Structure 1
Amino acid sequence: MYKIGNIYFIAAIAVIGGGLFGFDISSMSAIISTQPYLCQFNQRGFNDKGLCLGPTDDVQGGITAAMPGGSWLGALISGFLSDRFGRKTSIQMGSVVWVIGSIIVCAAVNIPMLAVGRIVNGFSVGICSAQVPVYISELAPPSKRGRLVGFQQWAITWGILIMFFICYGCSYIDGTASFRLPWGLQMIPAILLFIGLCFLPESPRWLAKKDRWEESKAVLTLVHGQGDANSPWVNQEMEEIREVVEFERANADVSYFELFTPKMINRTTIGIFTQIWSQLTGMNVMMYYITYVFTMAGLADDTGNAVLLPSGIQFVINVVMTVPALLWMDRWGRRPTLLIGAFFMCLWLCVNAGLFAVYSRAPYPGEFPSTAESMAISGAPAKAIIASTYLFVASFAPTWGPVSWAYPPELYPLRLRGKAVALCTSANWAFNFALAYFVPPAFANITWRTYVLFATFCAAMFIHVYFMFPETANKPLEEVEMMFDDTRPGAIKYIGTPAWKTRNTRHLTIKNERNEVSSEEKIGYEERKETTSTNSA
């Protein structure tokens, strides 16, 4: 079958798997305040205006959390699927599961059926969100790796935006079709993903691990060599992959337990916390439950539709502000991007906490349909709440959003990358599940202090990144391995270097990719090759 070798096209197709997560976010956040949804899954009866009150706060939290709960399990299993069947095939499996889950959700007539469908959808998202970054990182050249893996986050933002406005348009349809139609349409991207992947190559590193060397070189030639099998860049990368595969076979067996050995625990902790911190930023407050926040700021009407358009503005901001990261994340580096994002998110969360603490009042009886909408604020402070919410999203979008997907796949050796990234992504979904369930009761019980909690997490992640997260931007994956493993050839120059002194190597990487390798670099490469051969002997 004809295979496409353009790396940007490959990434564009693969990250549709990220778009599935985006579709799920807004298919819930845009619907939970509308009357057709509240009436279909009504548990609390009616208010004095005769409007449905919908599920209880705990049940709504459970419905929302069902998707990340399924994603946690899917992410864990994805490591085995990826190592056994390949990166590309595991993503295709995820797309099939998504279609099944969407059918169940679309047909849901009660809360248990809706929750089961969202668990199945989540299982799909867990597989795709874990393995798409692995697939792209193993195909991309180092100087473009962050940008291309970052496309996953951009696809998520586009999925959120597209589905949100589909839901907004459908909100004017009478009856249950207003939410069943969007839930049915979300099958389309999964079908496109499955078909598109048929025309993409498999990961060359996975092929090499399976001793399919000719296919591996053919993929490198297609993607990096522009059809020239004798390209210096292709030959150099092929040799480095061969060295890594042979070294790993001679030194270790593959299992999840190895991730927790003294040799691996440092990078395992870094990778897991990259995903955990991305959830503890509080972005879920702004995504899943943004209609709650804007309702408390006085933007809602009795139907729940009036709050949708201003909520949609933040999704537009999310899409637009992710673009700078795609263009310049590899130039900026991973560390500065994460540090700046944590600082500004902490700032805007503190602003929101202060405004709600000083200017809000308790809502009147029956003023809001949900007890999670526990504060009412109006006038200039309400406008400031909306503005700082938008600024928070603008701070997350170019920083922790894309980098949290790009960074973990860069940390691990080939033999463990599939399982390691699956473990990291499962941590993301575990905390996503907890926060999706936690936020409505948190707003109901601790009100504005919810923002203080997330601001504290942002301050903690700033400190953690500064002292523990090394710079990996623009380094070949095999070179990143040397930063953590002092037994690897060439690792001596990294020994004893603290994380805050590691640097971006963009200029050297671009020079190598242009096949302009200096004599000094050639000598270093030959020395590493000779050392590896000696150690193997």
Structure 2
Amino acid sequence: MYKIANINFIAAIAVIGGALFGFDISSMSAVISTQAYLCQFNQLGVNEQNKCMGPKADVQGGITAAMPGGSWLGALISGLLTDRFGRKTSIQIGACIWVVGSIIQAASVDIAMLIVGRVINGFSVGICSAQVPVYISELAPPSMRGRLVGFQQWAITWGILIMFFICYGCSYIKGTAAFRLPWGLQVVPALLLFLGLLFLPESPRWLAKKDRWEESKAVLTLVHGKGDPNSPFVAHEMEEIREMVEFERANADVSYMELIKPNMINRTTIGVFTQIWSQLTGMNVMMYYITYVFTMAGLGSDVLLPSSIQFIINVVMTVPALLWMDRWGRRPTLLIGAFFMCLWLCVNAGIFGAYSVPPYPGEFTSESESMSITGPPAKAVIASTYLFVASYAPTWGPVSWTYPPELFPLRLRGKAVALCTSANWAFNFALAYFVPPAFANITWRVYVLFAVFCFAMFWHVYFFFPETACKPLEEIEDIFDYSKPGSIKYLGTPAWKTHNTRATTLKKERGELSAEEKVGFEEHKAEHKEETGAL
């Protein structure tokens, strides 16, 4: 069968798996304030204006959290699937599961059925969100890896935007079709993903791990060698992959337990916290419940269209990261994002704390809409919310997907990224469930809580997160080299002393290294091989 060779097209098809997550975020965010949804799943009766009040705050939290709850389990299981069946096949399995979940969700007649459909959808998203970055990172050349894996986040933002406008258009439909139609249309990207993957090659590193060396070289020749099996870069990659596979078979297990062993716990902690912090920024909460925030800011029944501006900002502001993230490096991008998100969260907390008042009876339809703010302070809240999104989109959004696959050796990459992604979904679940009752009970202090998290993540990144941009996956092992002959164990290279190696990597990919640079590279490689062989 014909296989696509262009790495940009390969990434574009694979990241449709990320778009599934975006579709889910938007399909819930856009419908939770509509009367069709509130009446179908009503628990609180009607208000003075004879409008349905919808589910209780904690029940709505449970409905929203059902998807990330399923994603947590899907992400964990994906590590087993990908090691056995391959990266590509695992993503196809996720696409099939998504179709089933979307059909159940679209047909939901009560809250229980809706939750079941969202759990199944979540299981699919867990598989795809964990293995799409692994698949792309193992196919991408080092100098483009950040950009290509970052497409995952861009696909999420496009999924959010497209589904939001579908939901906005369907909101004018009378009856339950207003939410059933967009939930049913979610099967379309899953079908495109499944069919598109038929024309993509498998990960060359997974093929090598399974002793399918000829196929592995064929994929590298197709994608990196432009059809030339004698390409120097292909030969260099094959040599590095072969050495890493042989070393790993001679020195290590492939169980989840290895992730918490002394020589691996540091990078496991970093990878897990990358995903945890990405949730504790509060961004996905903003996406799920933005209609609550804008309703409290006085936008009333016109809340859907202003909310769409946030999603447009999310799409547009992800582009700079795709263009320049490999040049910027991972560390500066994460640090700048944490700083500015903390700033805008503090601004929102201050404005709501100083100017909001309790809503009058019947003003809002949800008990989570617990504050009312008008005039210039309300406009400032809206502007600050937009700026928060603009700070997240080019920083923690794409880097949180790019960074974890870069940290781990081949033998553990599938399981390790599955574990890291499961942490993402565990906290996504907790926060999705937590926020509606939190807005109802602690009001503006919700923003203070997330601001504290952003402050903490800034310093965690500064002291513990090393730079991995543009380094070949096999060379990143150097950063986490825990022992040398004749020495006691120590904590690798300090994070703040690591730096981007883009210039050298580009020369290597183009075959432009000078004789002196080649000698230095080979000496460093031999030294590293000798040291790691002594472990």
TM-score (norm 1): 0.97
What is the deviation of 1:536?
Answer: 6.9
What is the deviation of 1:208?
Answer: 0.3
Structure 1 distance, partners of 2:44, 2:307, is 25
Query: Which of the residues 466, 472, 477 maps onto 1:476?
Result: 472
What is the deviation of 1:165?
Answer: 0.2
CA deviations over 1:265-293 (Å, ceiling 9, x no partner) = 00000000000000000112310000000
Question: Which position in structure 1 is the counterpart of 2:348?
Answer: 352
Structure 2 distance, partners of 1:6, 1:132, is 17
Aligned 1:427-438 pairs, distance under 5 A: 427-438=423-434
Structure 2 distance, partners of 1:5, 1:319, is 27
Structure 1 distance, partners of 2:284, 2:386, is 13
CA deviations over 1:171-206 (Å, ceiling 9, x no partner) = 000000010000000100000000000000000000
Aligned 1:52-201 pairs, distance under 5 A: 52-201=52-201
CA deviations over 1:153-181 (Å, ceiling 9, x no partner) = 00000000000000000000000001000
Q: Is the 8 A contact 1:482 1:488 kept in 2?
A: no
Structure 2 distance, partners of 1:158, 1:535, is 43
Question: Which position in structure 2 is the counterpart of 1:12?
Answer: 12
Structure 2 distance, partners of 1:376, 1:495, is 51
Residues 1:39 and 2:39 are matched in the alignment: yes
Structure 2 distance, partners of 1:116, 1:399, is 33
What is the deviation of 1:481?
Answer: 1.1
Aligned 1:435-446 pairs, distance under 5 A: 435-446=431-442
SS of 2:394 mapped into structure 1: coil
- Aligned partner letter, 1:12: A
Question: Which position in structure 2 is the counterpart of 1:218?
Answer: 218
How has the CA–CA distance of structure 1 residues 239 and 101 changed in structure 2, closer, same or farther, with 3 Å as cutoff? same
SS of 1:471 mapped into structure 2: coil
How has the CA–CA distance of structure 1 residues 357 and 529 changed in structure 2, closer, same or farther, with 3 Å as cutoff? closer
- Aligned partner letter, 1:34: T
How has the CA–CA distance of structure 1 residues 101 and 534 changed in structure 2, closer, same or farther, with 3 Å as cutoff? closer
Structure 1 distance, partners of 2:128, 2:514, is 39
How has the CA–CA distance of structure 1 residues 534 and 177 changed in structure 2, closer, same or farther, with 3 Å as cutoff? closer
Residues 1:507 and 2:506 are matched in the alignment: no
How has the CA–CA distance of structure 1 residues 511 and 53 changed in structure 2, closer, same or farther, with 3 Å as cutoff? same
Residues 1:296 and 2:296 are matched in the alignment: yes
Query: Which of the residues 453, 460, 467 maps onto 1:464?
Result: 460
Question: Which position in structure 2 is the counterpart of 1:337?
Answer: 333
- Aligned partner letter, 1:307: V
- Aligned partner letter, 1:317: I
Residues 1:264 and 2:264 are matched in the alignment: yes
CA deviations over 1:243-265 (Å, ceiling 9, x no partner) = 00000000011000000011100
Structure 2 distance, partners of 1:107, 1:521, is 63
How has the CA–CA distance of structure 1 residues 487 and 414 changed in structure 2, closer, same or farther, with 3 Å as cutoff? farther
More deviation in 210-219 or 363-372? 363-372
SS of 2:299 mapped into structure 1: coil
Structure 2 distance, partners of 1:399, 1:457, is 16
- Aligned partner letter, 2:49: K
Structure 1 alignment gaps of length 5 or more: none
Residues 1:374 and 2:370 are matched in the alignment: yes
Aligned 1:246-285 pairs, distance under 5 A: 246-285=246-285
Structure 2 distance, partners of 1:451, 1:93, is 38
Structure 1 distance, partners of 2:270, 2:174, is 49
How has the CA–CA distance of structure 1 residues 441 and 310 changed in structure 2, closer, same or farther, with 3 Å as cutoff? same
Structure 1 distance, partners of 2:523, 2:465, is 28
What is the deviation of 1:49?
Answer: 1.3
Question: Which position in structure 2 is the counterpart of 1:522?
Answer: 518
Structure 1 distance, partners of 2:321, 2:383, is 22
Quick one: percent identity of the two aligned structures?
81
Q: Is the 8 A contact 1:322 1:398 kept in 2?
A: yes
- Aligned partner letter, 1:286: M
What is the deviation of 1:527?
Answer: 3.9
Q: Is the 8 A contact 1:149 1:402 kept in 2?
A: yes
Structure 1 distance, partners of 2:25, 2:440, is 21
Query: How many residues in Structure 1 have an aligned counterpart in Structure 2?
Result: 531
Structure 2 alignment gaps of length 5 or more: none
How has the CA–CA distance of structure 1 residues 424 and 201 changed in structure 2, closer, same or farther, with 3 Å as cutoff? same
How has the CA–CA distance of structure 1 residues 535 and 108 changed in structure 2, closer, same or farther, with 3 Å as cutoff? closer
TM-score (norm 2): 0.97
Q: Is the 8 A contact 1:78 1:131 kept in 2?
A: yes
- Aligned partner letter, 2:344: W
Q: Is the 8 A contact 1:483 1:495 kept in 2?
A: no
Residues 1:424 and 2:393 are matched in the alignment: no
What is the deviation of 1:126?
Answer: 0.1
- Aligned partner letter, 1:421: V
Query: Which of the residues 409, 412, 419 maps onto 1:413?
Result: 409
- Aligned partner letter, 2:74: G
Structure 2 distance, partners of 1:333, 1:529, is 23
Q: Is the 8 A contact 2:225 2:231 kept in 1?
A: yes
Structure 1 distance, partners of 2:492, 2:419, is 27
Structure 2 distance, partners of 1:309, 1:495, is 51
SS of 1:407 mapped into structure 2: helix
SS of 2:408 mapped into structure 1: coil
Structure 1 distance, partners of 2:324, 2:370, is 41
How has the CA–CA distance of structure 1 residues 529 and 329 changed in structure 2, closer, same or farther, with 3 Å as cutoff? closer
How has the CA–CA distance of structure 1 residues 391 and 534 changed in structure 2, closer, same or farther, with 3 Å as cutoff? closer
Structure 1 distance, partners of 2:491, 2:303, is 54
What is the deviation of 1:523?
Answer: 2.3
More deviation in 65-74 or 363-372? 363-372
Structure 2 distance, partners of 1:226, 1:367, is 63
Structure 1 distance, partners of 2:323, 2:525, is 34
- Aligned partner letter, 1:99: V
Structure 2 distance, partners of 1:410, 1:534, is 21
What is the deviation of 1:32?
Answer: 0.2
Structure 2 distance, partners of 1:392, 1:93, is 35
How has the CA–CA distance of structure 1 residues 248 and 528 changed in structure 2, closer, same or farther, with 3 Å as cutoff? farther
How has the CA–CA distance of structure 1 residues 229 and 351 changed in structure 2, closer, same or farther, with 3 Å as cutoff? same
How has the CA–CA distance of structure 1 residues 496 and 171 changed in structure 2, closer, same or farther, with 3 Å as cutoff? closer
CA deviations over 1:279-328 (Å, ceiling 9, x no partner) = 00011231000000000001013xxxx21000000000000000000000
- Aligned partner letter, 1:402: P
What is the deviation of 1:487?
Answer: 5.3
Question: Which position in structure 1 is the counterpart of 2:227?
Answer: 227
